[in-house]
Each structure stands twice: as C-alpha cells, then as structure tokens.
C-alpha cells in the first residue's frame, strides 16, 4: 500500500491518493501527507481510485483529517469511490460530513 | 574461371582493371573465328570475363557450366543455330533473367524481328562498335541485377510465407485444442468460425459449470494476426478453469478483464459477450462489451429481441472501474441466443460490397422457424462472400434453451464434484509472536477468493474481517479502550499504544474459525466467521451505541460493529465479549 | 574506285588485338578462303542454302575487318541464296574471288 499526495494546479487543493489497503497500518503515512503546514489550502481531495479495501479505522482517519482541516468548515472530497466503499460510507452517514464522489 | 579455351582465343589483351566488370561473365557464341576474336578482344579490353563457344551446341553447354550474366549469340551457326540455342538458354535460365543479344549482319527487318521473337533481347550488327557494345552491356547488366534482386526478394517472401504458414498451422492446432477443450459440441450449440477468424483473434469458448449452467464466451480481439490471437490463450485458460470450478460468469469476466488489462499492450483489447445459461432457472445472464449486440430469437413469437449492450471491451478498464454485472434475460424452451462478431457484417463480396447489418436484420426478423435461422444466415453470408477469399473473417454462434430431457442429458456431462472450496472449515490460531508480526488478512482473503461467489464479496468481507481482527487484537488482546479515540489526538495516541502494546506483548492469541457450507436447494451458501481472543472481553464498553440521527457528532470510534452488522446477516457477541461470530450469507439468485 | 579495305578500321583492329593481330589476319585469310571455296562448290551444286550460309558468314567477318566492297558482294550472294535464285550468281562469285584476293592483299600487307 502507498499513499501519495500533491497540490493541485491552482495550489488550493491537496490531493491524496490511496493505493491498496486503507486502514490503520497506513495511519502515519496518511497523516504525514497533510501535517506539513500548507496553510494556503482551501480543501482536500482523497482519491480512492486505487484503494482496494478499507475498514473502520480508515473512516476514523478521514475524520481526523476533517478535524485537522477545520471540522465543520472543512472542504473534503472523497473521490472515485467504488459501490462497496460508497455503501460503507452510507452506513456510517459519511455523506453528511464529506463530499463523496 | 574459364578453364576451357578455344585454340584461337586471344589471351594477351590486358584487361582494364575493374573488379566489378571482372565479375560480369559474358558468353560469346560465334562460329566465325575472326568475328569471335574481335568481340572477345573488345570485351576483355573493357575488363569483362569472357567465355567462348564456336557453335550453338557448345553455347548451350558453356551456358550450363558457366552460368554467364549475358550471352552474345551469332544467329547463323553450325549444329544449332542461334535462335534454337536462345530457346534452350532461356529454358535453362528459368526465373533468372539472362539477356541474350544476337550478333548479326542480317539487315532485313523481318530477320531482326524473328531474332527477337525467338527469345533475343536485342541485336548487335557487324561491324562491331565498342561504345555501343559497352552501353548495351551496362544496360542489360543493370536489368539483370534488378531482376536478381526481385527474384531473391520473391524467394525470400515465399520462404517467409511458408514458415508463417507452418507456424500458423501449429498455432491453429494449439488454438483448436484450447477452444475445443470445452463443450462446443453440445446439441444446443451451433457455431461457425472461418479459419481466418481464429487468426484474426476471434475466440469461442463453452463449458458446463457444476452449478448446472452452460457458460459461453464469444470474443474478438482487436488487431489482426498472431498478436491479436495471442490474448485468447490466457482468456481460454481462465474461462475453462473458473467455469469448471463453478465461478459465476461475472467473476470469470472480471478475472479475464484484470488479466487482459495487465498483460495486453494499450490498444489491444477483447470485445466479448459472455453468457450463463441456466437450464432450470430458464434464464440467461449475459454480459456484453463491444461486440455487436446479438439477440434472442423467441421460439413462440418468432420475434428477435436485441440484447442490451453498454460495457467497454475486456482489458480496457482496471478491475476497480470495471462493471462485471451481467443482465438477466428470460429464456423459454426453444428460445435461441444469437451472437456474432463484426466480421459477419463486414463480410465482403469479391467486388467489395459488405454483407451489412440490414441483410442480417432482415434474416433475423424474417419470422422463419427458429431451427432454420442459423443455417439461413450462414448460407446467405457464404453466398454473399462467394469465391472472394479475402477477408473471410466470420464468427457466429447460437445457443438454444433445451427441453427438460435434453437439459438432463447435457447436465449428466457437467463436472460432478466441484473443483473448488464448497463445504469446508478452517481454523487459524495466531500466537504471540505471530500477532506481533503477521497480518492474517491477505491470507484470509486468498482463501475466500477460492470460493466461487465469495470472491465477488471480497471487498466487503475484507471490511468484516478487518473489524473483527482489530477488535480482537486491540480490545481483546491489548485491552485498549475505544474511548481513547474520541479526539483526533487520542486517535493517533490509540494507534501508537497499539503498536507499543504489540511490541511489548508477552502472551496473547487470536483464533479465527471459518466454516462454509452450501445451502441445500438454494443457490448459495453460508460463511461463518468466528474470532476468539485471549482477552477478557470488550462488551463492557459502549461500542455499539449509535449516534442519534439528526444530532450528528463525529466520533472516531464505534463504527466497526455497525459496519459488520450491515454487511452480515447476523452478528453475535458472547459475554464477556472475547468471542464474536458473524454469519455471511450469499446466493446466486438473480 | 573505293578502297578494298578501310585502313582506319584495320588500324583500330591492330591496336585492339595488338600481338593477336597477325593471328586475326591469318584466320581471316584461311577461313575466308574456306568460305570462298564452299561458295564455289555451292554454285557448282546449285546449293542455295550453302551459298546463303557461307556468304552470310563471310559478309560478317568482312564488315568487321573493314572490307566493305567484299561484304557488299557477299550480301548480294546471301540474298540470292536466301531467295533460292542462283541465275546470276556465277558472275558475282567471280567478282567475289577477285575482291577477296584484293582484300587479303591489303590486309596481309598492312
């Protein structure tokens, strides 16, 4: 598994791409992506196109990111979700906290 | 070298040093010694390699021995005159162009024409002129070289072609073995594949599944020739391998797609339609991607229902983006499914006109008895193509829903025992050292993927297994509290403690039990997952309390069991909570 | 009167054949005589085909040796032989003998 991040062309969004399993074992890697102090960021996008599996610890990690990004004011998009992943988000009522695509 | 010399050959003329000319060998056949000597001298002075003959018979002999590049022939010679000699030399020369120039003092046009008609390429009049001779030799030698190149290339092409044909013959035998390893010879299947179609990457596979279905796949790889055909090898082996183990058509299609996506170069993919025909459910599940739609000819109404299409071909998308869900169609007794590759539409007359969709549709909607449709189409296509042996690239197949008797007979030949995990149980116990270092989830997923129908649920089952395993380790073995995760800082701290706890673990274990059973009568099964740990239980914590609707407060824990409950049919936690059992039920009811 | 043999042609041949020139001359004289004898025999026996062949052969060598007048006479005889009409051949054959001698003389002495 690997997590990569890059800043979007306009410099406003931090793009985080998860490859493989997304669970507690990737916690440190995931955190180091955004805990770098890019102050000018307006939002985050977590791309799950290459994520194969995730569990509840991944949900927790996403919530930690949301808190870091400003809680209720956070703009976080979770993109390229497979039907299974969408179902998991739905069960956890995540649509209300994140923009799920 | 010229070892046979006539007595009056002039040997002492110093040839001009010109190695390329010395390679040019010229035969001079002339009965008059004077004329022969003069021409010989002229040629030798120019540096050519000269061979002499005094009459027609000797000319032919010398030609055979020396294989000269150019022949000068006197017309009137004793024994065999020049014209006769020319004919023999032509015959001996075969494919290779050997210029023949007649030497003559004949002046009348009629004689000159006769010379050329008897096989001469040009003539040279006496008295000889050195400049004209040189010019003629150069021109003719160039022609001969060009001709030699052409003949060489043609021979090379012929040779290459022969090799190619041999290779294709071998390859075809391999392909035939692959495609006929299945059950294409069943009475309910009619198919036609032209020889060329196989090498243009068309592939047709059929096999019986232990679930009582007939699985079939018609594919058409992009491109032509061996590169296109090569993809059908992995395709066929996956198809047959999985079909006989009882995997569903969706699983098979997905597996093939992933394989092709990873192995084929970009731009090479496989248009395909895959079918699962269940005799007792009286339905077909059809996945189609990229092939012409095909359709079902209804026996009762003689209507032709066109199939829905809409997927991209196999090998284009990664499995994450790939939709492998087939569409369900009712199939009543006598209904017949028709599939074809675009070769049938593009089949051409010798003049080039395509068979076209209109003609095909006219036949499909002609309301003829169902039994005649396949034969009618094939007959018309073949009549259309006629003798044109160009792009005859036709693949067509039909699959009929049999009556009960025929279905019974066919199913007798279906694989009896499932070559796959069906009724089984396993226990995996992780002791202290394993818990510290070993991640059991990939192993568990591998086991699950071997079970037809569980494979397609591997994503949700991962979530279940991951939750249960982490609960067992964190709350059971390590006795960590979820409450810790109620703040972002605590969330991070929690995982730090987990790492630390595992590193310092002195004693602990987790046991994982799987039990899988097929359900009698129903098309499905039950997987029971049981996690037991060495801990004192975690039920005491308020893990399954849900956040009230409308008053959503993000908490960082307590989501796990909720997820499991939504995925599994039943979740049971014992008291004190060191044993959790989840029951996952699957079915192929569609 | 035209020259029996074009000396320029002879010079060129001499240069071309060099040491071989005497042999060329010898063969012209010997082979030519042989052909003249055969032509006379053909006339005696009224053998048109033989006359045609031999006159044609001598004509070619004569042209190559530069003996134009001799070649012309051979040409006439060749035509008669070809046409199978030897009626007026006798006088021409006589002229051939004379012209051949003249040509040989020039060539040998060159």
Pick from B8, B35, B104: CB nearest C64: B35
Our CA-based measurement puts residue B33 at a distance from the nearest CA of chain C, in whole angstroms, of 7
pLDDT band at B28, cuts 50/70/90? very high
Structure token digits, residue B569? 């049919």
pLDDT (0 to 100) of residue B225: 67
Interface partners of chain C (CB pairs < 8 Å, 3 or more) are: B
The residue with greater pLDDT, A6 or C39, is: C39
Going by C-alpha positions, the residue among B320, B318, B294, B313 that lies closest to residue B305 is B294
Going by C-alpha positions, the residue among B62, B69, B67, B61 that lies closest to residue B43 is B69
| Inter-CA distances, B552 with A61, B100, B314, Å | 17, 103, 43
Our CA-based measurement puts residue B118 at a distance from the nearest CA of chain C, in whole angstroms, of 19
Tell me which CATH code domain B180-415 carries: 3.60.40.10
The answer to whether residue A50 neighbours chain B at the CB level (below 8 Å) is yes
Element (H, E) at B407: helix B404-412
> Which residue in B262, B470, B472, B488 has the most chain A C-beta atoms within 10 A of its own C-beta, making it the best mutation to test that interface?
B488
> Which residue in C8, C14, C18, C20 has the most chain B C-beta atoms within 10 A of its own C-beta, making it the best mutation to test that interface?
C20
For residue B8, the chain C residue with the least C-alpha distance is C23
| Residue at C7 is within a domain | no
- List Cβ neighbours of B492 (8 Å cut-off, separation of 6 or more): A27, A31, A64
Neighbouring CB atoms inside 10 A of C86's CB total 18
pLDDT (0 to 100) of residue B288: 93
> Domain count of chain C?
1
Longest CA span, chain A: 34
The residue with greater pLDDT, B347 or C42, is: C42
Residues B106, C9: C-beta atoms closer than 8 Å: no
A50-62 core/surface letters (b: 16 or more CB in 10 A; e: else)? bbbbbbbbbbbbb
d(CA B61, CA B75) in angstroms, rounded, equals 17
d(CA B519, CA B587) in angstroms, rounded, equals 9
The residue with greater pLDDT, B307 or B575, is: B307
The pLDDT tens digits for B304-352 are 899 987 799 999 988 888 888 899 999 999 999 999 888 777 777 767 7
The answer to whether residue C71 neighbours chain B at the CB level (below 8 Å) is yes
Q: Is the pLDDT of residue A38 over 80?
A: no
**A43-54: strand order across its sheet:** A2-7, A13-22, A43-54, A76-79, A99-100
| Residue at C57 is within a domain | yes
| Residue at C9 is within a domain | no
pLDDT (0 to 100) of residue C45: 92
Q: Is the pLDDT of residue B69 over 90?
A: yes
Going by C-alpha positions, the residue among B275, B272, B270, B274 that lies closest to residue B316 is B270
Structure token digits, residue B119? 């096989």
> Which residue in B439, B456, B559 has the most chain A C-beta atoms within 10 A of its own C-beta, making it the best mutation to test that interface?
B559
Going by C-alpha positions, the residue among B415, B369, B397 that lies closest to residue B188 is B397
- Give the domain range for residue C49: 22-109
Q: Which homologous superfamily is B6-150 in?
A: Response regulator (3.40.50.2300)
| Residue at C17 is within a domain | no
Confidence (pTM): 0.54
Identify the CATH number of the domain in which residue C82 sits: 1.20.120
What are B338's strand-pairing partners?
B295, B398
Determine how β-strand B327-330 pairs with β-strand B304-306.
unpaired
Residues A67, B495: C-beta atoms closer than 8 Å: no
| Residue at C64 is within a domain | yes
Going by C-alpha positions, the residue among B376, B383, B387 that lies closest to residue B338 is B376
Q: B325: which DSSP letter?
A: P
Determine how β-strand A43-54 pairs with β-strand A13-22.
parallel
d(CA B187, CA B410) in angstroms, rounded, equals 9
| Residue at C61 is within a domain | yes
Structure token digits, residue B33? 């010694």
B421-587 belongs to CATH 3.90.1150.10: no
Going by C-alpha positions, the residue among C76, C100, C103 that lies closest to residue C89 is C76
User: Is the separation of the CB atoms in B216 and B338 below 8 Å?
Assistant: no
Range(s) for CATH 3.30.565.10 in chain B? 421-587
Range(s) for CATH 3.40.50.2300 in chain B? 6-150
When the pLDDT of each residue in chain B is averaged and rounded to a whole number, the result is 82
pLDDT band at B392, cuts 50/70/90? low
The residue with greater pLDDT, B39 or B177, is: B39
């Amino acid at each position: 598994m690997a997590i990569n991040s890059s800043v979007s062309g306009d410099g406003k969004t931090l793009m985080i791409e998860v490859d493989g399993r997304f669970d507690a074992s990737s916690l440190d890697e995931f955190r180091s992506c955004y805990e770098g102090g890019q102050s000018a960021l307006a939002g985050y996008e977590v791309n799950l196109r290459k994520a194969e599996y995730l569990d509840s610890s991944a949900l927790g990690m996403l919530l930690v990111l949301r808190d870091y990004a400003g809680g209720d004011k956070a703009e976080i998009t979770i993109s390229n979700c497979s039907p299974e992943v969408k179902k998991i988000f739905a069960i956890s009522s995540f649509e209300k906290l994140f923009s799920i695509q | 070298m010229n070892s046979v010399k006539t007595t009056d050959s002039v040997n002492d003329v110093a040839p001009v040093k010109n190695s390329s000319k010395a390679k040019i060998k010229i035969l001079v056949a002339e009965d008059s010694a004077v004329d022969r000597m003069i021409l010989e001298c002229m040629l030798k002075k120019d540096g050519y390699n000269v061979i002499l003959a005094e009459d027609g018979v000797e000319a032919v002999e010398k030609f055979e021995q020396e294989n000269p590049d150019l022949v000068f022939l006197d017309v009137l010679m004793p024994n065999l005159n020049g014209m006769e000699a020319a004919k023999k030399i032509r015959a001996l020369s075969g494919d290779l162009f050997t210029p023949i120039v007649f030497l003559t003092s004949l002046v009348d046009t009629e004689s000159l024409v006769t010379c050329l008609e008897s096989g001469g390429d040009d003539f040279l009049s006496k008295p000889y002129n050195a400049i004209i001779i040189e010019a003629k030799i150069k021109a003719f030698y160039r022609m001969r070289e060009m001709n030699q190149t052409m003949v060489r290339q043609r021979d090379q092409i012929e040779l290459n072609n022969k090799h190619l044909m041999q290779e294709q013959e071998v390859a075809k035998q391999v392909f035939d073995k692959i495609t006929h390893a299945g059950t294409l010879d069943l009475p309910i299947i009619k198919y036609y594949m032209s020889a060329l179609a196989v090498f243009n990457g068309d592939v047709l596979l059929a096999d019986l599944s232990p679930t009582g279905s007939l699985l079939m796949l018609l594919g058409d790889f992009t491109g032509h020739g061996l590169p296109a055909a090569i993809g059908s090898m992995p395709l066929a082996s996956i198809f047959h391998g999985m079909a006989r183990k009882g995997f569903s058509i969706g699983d098979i299609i997905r597996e093939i797609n992933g394989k092709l996506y990873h192995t084929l170069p970009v731009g090479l993919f496989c248009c395909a339609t895959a079918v699962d025909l269940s005799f007792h459910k009286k339905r077909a599940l059809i996945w189609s991607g990229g092939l012409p739609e095909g359709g079902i000819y209804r026996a009762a109404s003689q209507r032709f229902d066109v199939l829905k299409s809409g997927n991209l071909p196999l090998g284009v998308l990664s499995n994450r983006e790939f939709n492998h869900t087939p569409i369900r169609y009712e199939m009543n007794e006598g209904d017949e499914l028709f599939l074809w590759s675009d070769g049938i539409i593009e089949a051409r007359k010798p003049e080039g006109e395509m068979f076209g969709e209109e003609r095909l549709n006219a036949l499909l909607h002609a309301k003829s008895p169902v039994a005649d449709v396949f034969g009618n189409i094939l007959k018309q296509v073949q009549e259309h193509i006629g003798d044109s042996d160009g792009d005859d690239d036709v693949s067509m197949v039909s699959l009929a829903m049999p009556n009960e008797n025929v279905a019974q007979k066919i199913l007798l030949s279906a694989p009896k025992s499932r070559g796959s995990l069906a009724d089984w149980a396993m226990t995996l116990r992780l002791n202290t050292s394993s818990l510290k270092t070993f991640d059991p989830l990939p192993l568990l997923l591998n086991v699950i993927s071997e079970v037809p129908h569980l494979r397609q649920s591997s994503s949700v089952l991962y979530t279940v297994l991951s939750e249960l395993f982490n609960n067992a380790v964190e709350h059971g073995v390590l006795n960590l509290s979820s409450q810790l995760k109620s703040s972002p800082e605590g969330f991070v701290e929690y995982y730090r403690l987990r790492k630390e706890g595992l590193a310092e673990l002195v004693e602990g274990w987790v046991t994982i039990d799987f039990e899988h059973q097929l359900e009698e009568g129903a098309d499905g099964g039950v997987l029971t997952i049981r996690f037991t740990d060495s801990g004192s239980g975690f039920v005491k914590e308020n893990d399954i309390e849900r956040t009230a609707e409308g008053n959503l407060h993000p908490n960082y824990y307590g989501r796990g069991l909720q997820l499991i409950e939504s995925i599994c049919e039943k979740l049971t936690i014992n008291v004190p909570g060191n044993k959790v059992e989840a029951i996952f039920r699957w079915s192929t009811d569609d | 009167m035209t020259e029996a043999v074009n000396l320029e042609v002879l010079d060129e041949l001499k240069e071309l054949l060099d040491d071989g020139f005497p042999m060329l001359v010898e063969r012209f004289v010997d082979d030519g005589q042989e052909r003249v004898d055969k032509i006379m025999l053909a006339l005696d026996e009224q053998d048109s085909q033989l006359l045609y062949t031999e006159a044609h052969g001598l004509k070619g060598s004569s042209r190559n040796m530069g003996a134009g007048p001799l070649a012309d006479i051979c040409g006439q005889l060749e035509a008669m032989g070809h046409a199978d009409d030897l009626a007026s051949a006798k006088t021409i054959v006589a002229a051939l003998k004379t012209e051949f001698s003249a040509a040989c003389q020039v060539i040998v002495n060159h």
